[in-house]
Amino acid sequence: MGRIAPPERVMLFAGFLFNDTSILEKSLELLTKLYGDILFKSQQINWNYSEYYNNELGKNILRQFVFFKNLIDPANIVDIKIQTNKFEEMFLDNNRRRINIDPGYMSLAKIVLATTKNYSHRIYLGRGIYAEVTLIYKNNTFIPFFYTYKDYRGKEYIDIFLKARNELKNILKN
């Protein structure tokens, strides 16, 4: 019989889609007030995987990942996703988002994304929030699933997550 135990703490991260760096900076200020210092930021990457966000965010969309120093209980991702949605609403312009903030967390074994959208592979967490395991760690790299977003499958993102995983390993050792 399995024993109920507390979950391991995980590394919080957020993926941002934006085309206005001032909105990104304001969002980061809000997030650091709630979730603590940033461990590291990825470079800003041109995001051209879809036209899905063009009506809201415009063209020339950039992606940036931000990883936080303070580890979290994975159950907190529900509250975090609800809060990041509120931050997105703060920056609306004529009912259009100016930034997309996708929180998730990383354990040594996987990358989990939080979302408000239900699909067959997503698990309901509560309060309108779902989660999906989007990448798993195996054979010294992250492996995508058939449903993993196209951008998360690429080497550029996987290299960012491998760097974050090494940071997480160091934090867990101490």
Which pLDDT belongs to residue 174? 85
DSSP type of residue 51: S
CATH architecture of 10-173: 2-Layer Sandwich (3.30)
Give the model's pLDDT for residue 68.
99
Predicted pLDDT at 137: 99
Q: Give 142's contacts (C-beta < 8 A, 6+ positions apart).
A: 111, 135, 136, 158, 161, 162, 165
Burial-class residue 41 by CB neighbours within 10 Å (0-12, 13-18, 19+).
middle
- Torsion angle in degrees (nearest 10) through CA of 76, 78, 80, 85: 180
pLDDT tens string, the chain, 174 residues long: the values are: 999 999 999 999 999 999 999 999 999 999 999 999 999 999 999 999 988 899 999 999 999 999 999 999 999 999 999 999 999 999 999 999 999 999 999 999 999 999 999 999 999 999 999 999 999 999 999 999 999 999 999 999 999 999 999 999 999 998
Q: Distance between CA atoms of 137 and 115, rounded to whole angstroms?
A: 21
**Cβ–Cβ contacts within 10 Å for residue 5, how many?**
6
Q: What sign for the dihedral angle of Cα 82, 83, 85, 89?
A: positive
Q: Is 39 exposed, middle or buried (0-12, 13-18, 19+ CB in 10 A)?
A: middle
pLDDT value of residue 140:
98
Side-chain-facing half-sphere of 26: CA atoms under 13 Å: 13
Q: Which amino acid is at 27?
A: S
